[in-house]
Amino acid sequence: MLQKTHSAAGLVAAEIVLVNLQVPFLSWDAAGAILLGCLAGTLADVDKPGSTMAKVLFPLSALLKLIHIRHRTLTHSLLFVAALALAASPLPLLYFWVLVAAYASHPLIDLLNENGVQLFWPLKGKVRLLPKALAVDTGSPLETAIRWLLLIVSLWIPFSTIDFGW
């Protein structure tokens, strides 16, 4: 999936956390959480040479390349999500959950791709949710449709929490 799709998934994850923690959408905390969600949703692609995250976090990307970590392996695994959660545990509850949920949205979305992800890294074998014939190709019209659906959901979530008093 493309960076913009992962960013949209991170946005939705952040909004779900905001709703569950009852944080008002019109607050500085919500603004920070949404920004964090959009960024954290793309973070797992630090293992993909040439990606925006690999460029922004070049030292980490170079280290992953040096130790031969391939795309959609370690950084897309449940083990890495757990390690990230452990490392993020000192954060305030809101930002902790946004970081973990938005980051976890990345491998979840990539499970729709025909290549799948090595979800149980270091164990071999990739996992995907759809058969190859139905899988979502990166940059395809189907991915664009998924991105638009995520963006529509991201608009619906805040409005669904408003009490109009009807």
Q: Could you report the per-residue pLDDT of 55-94, keeping only the tens digit for each? A: 999 999 999 999 998 989 999 999 999 999 999 999 999 9
> Cα dihedral angle (142, 39, 57, 75), rounded to 10 degrees?
-60
pLDDT of residue 162: 78
Distance CA 144, CA 18 (A): 25
- What pTM did the predictor assign? 0.93
Beta-carbon-side half-sphere exposure of residue 128 (alpha carbons within 13 Å)? 16
Q: Which residues pair with 117 in a beta bridge?
A: 127
Alpha helices for the chain (secondary structure H): 3-20, 28-40, 52-56, 58-66, 78-88, 93-110, 141-160
pLDDT of residue 163: 73
pLDDT of residue 113: 93
For residue 160, the 8-state DSSP code is H
**Surface-to-core class of residue 27, CB atoms within 10 Å of its CB (0-12 exposed, 13-18 middle, 19+ buried):** exposed
Distance CA 68, CA 153 (A): 37
pLDDT of residue 166: 66
- Helix, strand or coil for residue 136? coil
pLDDT beneath 70: ranges in the chain: 165-166
User: What is the amino acid identity at position 124?
Assistant: K
User: What is the amino acid identity at position 17?
Assistant: V
Distance CA 56, CA 46 (A): 8
Nearest to 29 by CA among 90, 98, 88: 98
